[in-house]
């Protein structure tokens, strides 16, 4: 029995929510699910009159990123109730090693193998016990990573194992792309910034109206990213339903003007659990990719029963169809390249009404991702993640050049030393510090975002202690 302050009384301790059994207390204390039962402004800290001593809450706002060739940094939102964290590591995202105990919320794990994808999950710990495990995140060691995977699939859907980052990470890795990752809470809390990356990949699964695909705060972050020339991949089967059909005026503005997508129907012919195959449109960004399937619940992810039917709007173009469905009614994906409302630099977006992680076989996910990376002008090279010690210090010409507003800078470190990479204008004034730290021997890359600078020629300078200095010219063309 539970007495809620506004007069609601529950005689049941638990009930089904999104196909899973949830306890009432668990729902009311969850930062997202509380909305199912409560009209308060946030989750309840004490959902009963009698306080029960429990362990800390599940960590939801955190992320990981590669540092150097063999190190991963963890950044977790500070929680005064937490005394330490149990950190679990894996190389497949399924089987995890025994935990490492860490007392800080900002720390590194060292001595990792370079050029490897690591999966992690964490638990919060205090004297009362430990939390449930977090969702799984991933990153690849050995490079300055230009891609950020954002896991926003929080819904307790049947089949959600909270580790679907595996399918995204594997596709990036197969395409030789490097990436960091964080939760969507880490974006809204400012622990990770989308604008620090060339590309963001938002995982939304079947996130819908209860959990929100994109909160108002997230929308503002994503808008700024696209307005400053960012490239966004977003996939989720309830994305258009939530934002366009059920959304507010600001939600509709976001999906129509920034994701370039308009809601048509909740599924092809409004038939659930019927359509499970897509075909890429030719010509489009997916030209040459064969037809593929998405999960009906028997291929390791969720049952995509309600894949949205959408159309492209405001300059967007379509890229996917549902097999057997009349395209005069709608499509399964859109893409866009150009200036976004309020923007200063052209950006790009690919928005899919089918969750990327549910697509199979795996080879098709790899093919689709390499098409997306090519469309986004993301430089792919195994060389950039090489674990072979370079013979000499070297600063490579930035790519692309000319550029607007971001460019990738690759450099070799022949022996461990303090590395300084600085950008100067043509008059010799320092305008940016890109690297200022000790680096082990290896090959690295970093991203220069010149969105706040004017067109012109800039000087890129690499210093390696007292051993080496090299300069190159770059052209910013707006």
Alpha-carbon distance 315 to 357, whole Å? 27
The residue among 196, 192, 170 whose CA lies nearest residue 116 is 170
Which of 12-16, 179-183, 220-224, 284-288 bottoms out in mean pLDDT, i.e. has the lowest? Answer: 12-16
Q: Are residues 12 and 43 in the same domain?
A: yes
Contact 284, 341 (CB under 8 A): no
pTM above 0.85, yes or no: no
Question: pLDDT, tens digit, for every residue of 30-86?
Answer: 777 877 887 766 666 666 655 556 679 999 999 999 987 889 999 999 999 999 999
> Is 273 a residue whose pLDDT tops 70?
yes
Q: What is the pLDDT of residue 144?
A: 63
Q: What is the pLDDT of residue 209?
A: 84
Q: Are residues 458 and 371 in the same domain?
A: no
Top pLDDT among 196 and 80 is at: 80
Range of the domain at 153: 143-375
In a domain, 79, yes or no: no
Stretch 455-460: mean pLDDT: 96
Integer-rounded Cα radius of gyration of the chain = 23
In a domain, 101, yes or no: no
Per-residue confidence band for 447, with pLDDT thresholds at 50, 70 and 90: confident
Q: What is the pLDDT of residue 4?
A: 44
Top pLDDT among 59 and 382 is at: 59
Tokens of 2: 């539970």
Could you say which of 345, 375, 405 is where a domain stops?
375
Sorted by sequence, the CB contacts under 8 Å of residue 95 that are 6+ apart come out as none
Q: Are residues 197 and 331 in the same domain?
A: yes
> Is 389 a residue whose pLDDT tops 80?
no
Mean pLDDT score of the chain: 90
Q: What is the pLDDT of residue 12?
A: 60
In a domain, 306, yes or no: yes
Q: Are residues 396 and 328 in the same domain?
A: no
Could you say which of 375, 397, 427 is where a domain stops?
375
Which of 38-42, 211-215, 274-278, 314-318 bottoms out in mean pLDDT, i.e. has the lowest? Answer: 38-42
Which of 6-10, 252-256, 323-327, 336-340 bottoms out in mean pLDDT, i.e. has the lowest? Answer: 6-10
Which of 142-146, 220-224, 369-373, 383-387 bottoms out in mean pLDDT, i.e. has the lowest? Answer: 383-387
Q: What is the tally of structural domains in the chain?
A: 3
> Is 409 a residue whose pLDDT tops 60?
yes
Q: What is the pLDDT of residue 42?
A: 66
In a domain, 202, yes or no: yes
**Side-chain half-sphere exposure of 352, counting CA atoms within 13 A:** 29
Q: What is the pLDDT of residue 49?
A: 57
> Is 199 a residue whose pLDDT tops 50?
yes
> Is 375 a residue whose pLDDT tops 70?
yes
Q: What is the pLDDT of residue 53?
A: 60
Q: Are residues 422 and 462 in the same domain?
A: yes
Q: Are residues 407 and 453 in the same domain?
A: yes
> What CATH number is associated with residue 459?
2.60.40.1930
Q: What is the pLDDT of residue 27?
A: 81
Alpha-carbon distance 178 to 235, whole Å? 20
Q: How far are the Cα atoms of 151, 300, 322, 384 from residue 177, in angstroms, in the given order?
A: 18, 24, 29, 9
**Side-chain half-sphere exposure of 178, counting CA atoms within 13 A:** 29
Q: Are residues 40 and 163 in the same domain?
A: no
Provide the 8-state DSSP code for 384.
G
Per-residue confidence band for 383, with pLDDT thresholds at 50, 70 and 90: very low
Q: Are residues 357 and 399 in the same domain?
A: no
Residue 255: how many CB atoms within 10 A of its CB? 26
Alpha-carbon distance 369 to 390, whole Å? 30
> Is 386 a residue whose pLDDT tops 60?
no
Percentage with pLDDT > 70 across the chain: 91
Q: What is the pLDDT of residue 13?
A: 73
Sorted by sequence, the CB contacts under 8 Å of residue 460 that are 6+ apart come out as 395, 398, 409, 421, 422, 423, 448, 471, 472, 473, 474
Q: Are residues 174 and 269 in the same domain?
A: yes
Stretch 446-463: mean pLDDT: 93
Question: pLDDT, tens digit, for every residue of 15-34?
Answer: 777 777 778 877 877 777 87
The residue among 409, 470, 412, 408 whose CA lies nearest residue 440 is 412
Q: What is the pLDDT of residue 177?
A: 86
In a domain, 65, yes or no: no
In a domain, 122, yes or no: no
> What CATH number is associated with residue 301?
3.40.50.880
Q: Are residues 246 and 315 in the same domain?
A: yes
Q: Are residues 230 and 153 in the same domain?
A: yes
Alpha-carbon distance 322 to 327, whole Å? 8
Q: What is the pLDDT of residue 142?
A: 75
Tokens of 218: 């997230």
> Is 151 a residue whose pLDDT tops 60?
yes
Residue environment code for 180-192, b if the CB has 16+ CB neighbours within 10 A, otherwise e: bbbbbbbbbbebb
Q: What is the pLDDT of residue 143?
A: 63
Alpha-carbon distance 219 to 201, whole Å? 14
Per-residue confidence band for 276, with pLDDT thresholds at 50, 70 and 90: very high
Q: Are residues 358 and 421 in the same domain?
A: no
> Is 197 a residue whose pLDDT tops 50?
yes
Question: pLDDT, tens digit, for every residue of 160-192?
Answer: 999 999 999 999 998 888 899 999 999 999 999
Q: Is the peptide bond before 400 cis (omega within 30 degrees of 0)?
A: yes
Per-residue confidence band for 467, with pLDDT thresholds at 50, 70 and 90: confident
Tokens of 404: 């607007």
């Amino acid at each position: 029995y539970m007495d809620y302050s506004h007069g609601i009384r529950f005689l049941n301790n638990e009930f089904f929510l999104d196909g899973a059994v949830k306890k009432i207390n668990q729902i009311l204390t969850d930062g997202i699910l509380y909305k199912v039962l409560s009209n308060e402004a946030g989750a309840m800290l004490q959902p009963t009159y009698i306080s029960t001593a429990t362990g800390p809450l599940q960590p939801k706002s955190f992320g990981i990123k590669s540092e150097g060739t063999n190190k991963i940094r963890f950044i977790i939102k500070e929680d005064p109730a937490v005394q330490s964290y149990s950190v679990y590591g894996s190389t497949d995202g399924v089987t995890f090693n025994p935990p490492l105990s860490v007392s800080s919320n900002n720390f590194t794990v060292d001595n990792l193998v370079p050029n490897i994808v690591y999966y992690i999950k964490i638990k919060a710990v205090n004297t009362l016990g430990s939390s449930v495990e977090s969702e799984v995140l991933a990153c690849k060691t050995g490079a300055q990573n230009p891609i950020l995977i954002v896991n926003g699939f929080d819904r307790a859907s049947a089949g959600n194992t909270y580790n679907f980052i595996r399918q995204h990470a594997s596709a990036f890795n197969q395409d030789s792309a490097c990436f960091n990752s964080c939760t969507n809470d880490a974006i809204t809390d400012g622990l990770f910034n989308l604008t620090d990356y060339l590309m963001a990949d938002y995982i939304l699964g079947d996130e819908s109206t209860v959990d929100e695909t994109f909160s108002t705060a997230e929308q503002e972050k994503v808008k700024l990213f696209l307005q400053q020339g960012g490239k966004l991949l977003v996939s989720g089967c309830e994305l258009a339903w939530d934002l366009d059909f059920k959304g507010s005026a600001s939600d509709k503005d976001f999906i129509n003007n920034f994701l370039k997508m308009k809601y048509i129907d909740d599924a092809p012919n409004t038939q659930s659990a019927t359509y499970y195959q897509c075909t890429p449109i030719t010509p489009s960004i997916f030209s040459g990719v064969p037809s593929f399937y998405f999960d009906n619940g028997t291929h390791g992810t969720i049952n995509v029963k309600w894949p949205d039917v959408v159309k492209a709007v405001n300059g967007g173009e379509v890229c996917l169809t549902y097999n057997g469905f009349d395209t005069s009614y709608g499509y399964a994906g859109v893409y866009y390249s150009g200036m976004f409302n309020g923007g200063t630099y052209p950006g790009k977006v690919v928005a899919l009404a089918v969750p990327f992680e549910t697509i199979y076989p795996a080879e098709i996910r790899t093919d689709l991702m390499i098409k997306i990376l090519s469309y986004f002008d993301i430089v792919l090279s195994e060389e950039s993640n090489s674990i072979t010690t370079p013979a000499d210090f070297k600063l490579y010409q930035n790519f692309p050049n000319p550029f607007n507003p971001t460019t990738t800078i690759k450099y070799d470190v022949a022996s461990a030393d303090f590395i300084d990479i600085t950008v100067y204008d043509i008059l010799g004034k320092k305008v940016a510090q890109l690297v200022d730290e000790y680096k082990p021997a290896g090959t690295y890359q970093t991203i220069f975002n010149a969105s706040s600078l004017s067109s012109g020629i800039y000087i890129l300078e690499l210093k390696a202690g007292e051993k080496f200095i090299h300069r190159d010219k770059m052209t910013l063309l707006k």
